[in-house]
Amino acid sequence: MYKDITNNPEERMCTTYSWAYWDNAFSEEELTNLEKYCQIEQTEKATVVGTNDINETEKIRKSRIKFYSKNENNAWFFNRVNEISKIINESYYNYELNGYADFQYTEYHGNESGEYNWHMDMLHGQNKFNITRKLSLVMCLSDPEKDFVGGEFQINVGNQEEPETILMKKGRMIFFPSYIIHRVKPVTKGIRKTIVIWITGPKFV
């Protein structure tokens, strides 16, 4: 049940949003500090759920990642994300959510044609994490207009041949249901740096 009152109830009853966004959640200085923080530790090649074989993984995904849990150095970021995620969920999705334990810092390198082909974040069946991802979030730390070429973020809203391309901006937080099929097209130059979060909850009923 929604926790606030709207003066446009028909929209809530009739509309399922494929994505929503929030701009200006962080200042330029905060984004720069966050980027530096994420680069302190070395990243590692990403895998996909179900295999640790890098060769198999790279048929789908070529990126470098590092996970960060909440601590005294990054609590400010987690707290801000928590506040905005709650507003987005209550405004557009009304999912029953529990939370998330960490965020994933991701790099897609142009000299590796970094990409992540069509996939969904929601894990089906009995997964080793024993979680249900319900609301996904991606935020660019690098500037698509200056720092990299390619790497378009696209979602499949019913026709894979004509996907919707979502405009990425530095600091823009993009939310979407974790069952939406999406992809990151190959980066051809520079490095695409993002933060990804999967907010979990009880399974959909």
Q: DSSP string of 60-86? A: TEE-EEEEEE--TTTHHHHHHHHHHHH
Q: With contact defined as beta carbons under 8 Å apart, do 22 and 88 qualify?
A: yes
DSSP letter for 111, please: G
Residue 126: is its pLDDT beyond 80? no
Residue 54 is predicted with a pLDDT of: 64
- pLDDT, mean over the chain: 91
Residue 52 is predicted with a pLDDT of: 63
Q: Which residue has the tokens 């606030």?
A: 4
In 25-122 the beta strands, taken as DSSP E runs, fall at: 44-45, 61-62, 64-69, 102-109, 115-119
Question: In sequence order, what are the residues at sequence separation of 6 or more whose Cβ sits closer than 8 angstroms to the Cβ of residue 112?
Answer: 62
Residue 72 is predicted with a pLDDT of: 96
Domain architecture of the chain: domains with CATH: 20-200 (2.60.120.620)
Q: Around Cβ 129, how many Cβ atoms within 10 Å?
A: 11
pLDDT in tens, 34-71: 999 999 999 998 887 756 666 667 778 999 999 999 99
